[in-house]
Structure 1
């Protein structure tokens, strides 16, 4: 069950269905899996963050925002300390009709969207329709985001409640810099190669090799944004035998080279 603190926070978000609720903080509310009656726009400054849903785990890099549709169950997991988390909860009726709003996604935050989010940094709590300027501003922000955000970040890891599979996934993440062969992992956890391969396909709808590839790339994204390591060092730390192979794999999944991803998304703390 959620804590009383979590319940009180969700009650604040849901209390006035037609009002936008704004919450900027250096500490994210520690909510369990939950949903609310408003769309959620979240932008995190600094730190490594994952968004967890019932089916997937999403890495939220710097200079990206996440859009969570109203009613979608989720929770946010912080992987390191953060500078600031900015949450804007928008009631669906105030936005234009657009398929964008019904789908969860992580998108780059170009300067216009980032500046519009940061403009709200001194706003807090509910914004009602009678506050016409602020109310219209939030409506415009939502509609601008829908028009500008066309290409969500494609790197998504499926999650599972399967008790036989969860320790294997944990092992992959802990040993991501090491060779991870299906036959070795299967033997370590008491499976045949065929049965473990089948388990990944049936439970996660993904192959073992694809899961390892995604885990390596997400690990590398964290290193690119959170450390001063060189591209070569990150390649080896993420389990690749050569920087060229790492760069090509990264490009195939993320559609930019690792060096360009770092350059575009790195947030230098003051």
Structure 2
């Protein structure tokens, strides 16, 4: 077992606090505690067997106990703040049974930053720290009601994986079902079936989600204008980009950028 996972499991009843550049670069793994991770200054993904969860600035990732996962980053990050709660400290709500991305309020962000004075196991005997973390847990339970809607399905299917990679590498270019299918030696109908069978979404929807994730990265990490972000994400008009962004993220690109920054 990885030394970090050994340390995490040493005191099953503790709240474990861990701050690092990224989640120890662990391979796919699971543990018996619920986890929240807040990435400061960077773009990161939670990867599970079936999905890739993109979490932008001012959002935290919720990882329920027992879920096999790892966290990766596409950019350098300032810090990843991780809190691990014993399962009996978190009520079993339907939303918290699954992984999700949730907004970080100003209060929650300040409380997460305050936890940097601790590292490792916080036991009930550490009264002041433990009570503070219980208060933080209560704030988390309050905000964890409406998850961020951008979830990208993934697959281990060896025929589909290179196609998904091709979409990511060429997301700023026109991507048409017939042309991508021909590039990989499929008919349009066969490729459509491959998507539906393995990731339960259509080719067009996958491309749309990939474009929106790309646009969010650009909005957060560059000084490009909204129009420049639209074209760099593969849209041929600002109106089409704004409509798609609103449809998935439930707010305009400008409003999202203002809120996140």
TM-score by length of 1: 0.94
User: 2 CA distance for matches of 1:169 and 1:132?
Assistant: 49
Query: Relative to structure 1, is the Cα distance of residues 98 and 19 closer, same or farther in structure 2, using a 3 angstrom cutoff?
Result: same
Extract unaligned runs of 5+ from structure 2.
Answer: none
Q: Map Cα deviations across residues 148-204 of structure 1 (whole Å, 9 max, x no partner).
A: 222111011100001110000000000001110000000000101100001101111
CA distance in 1, matches of 2:72, 2:256: 22
Equivalenced residues, count: 261
Which consecutive residues of structure 1, in runs of 5 or more, have no partner in the other structure?
none
Structure 1 134/252 Cα, relative in aligned 2: closer, same or farther at 3 Å? same
Q: Which residue of 2 aligns with 1:232?
A: 227
Where in structure 2 are the equivalents of 1:30-179 lying within 5 Å?
30-96=25-91, 98-179=93-174
Contact 2:17 2:118 in 1 (8 A): yes
* 2-structure distance, mates of 1:130, 1:157: 42
- CA 1:15–1:230 in 2, change beyond 3 Å: closer, same or farther? same
**Aligned residue in 1 for 2:249:** 254
2: CA distance between counterparts of 1:64 and 1:159? 21
Cα offset for 1:26? 2.5
| TM-score in terms of structure 2 length | 0.97
Q: CA deviation at 1:28?
A: 3.2
Shift of 1:10: 0.5
Q: Which residue of 1 aligns with 2:176?
A: 181
Cα RMSD, aligned residues only? 1.2
Aligned counterparts of 2:148 and 2:65: Cα–Cα separation in 1: 20
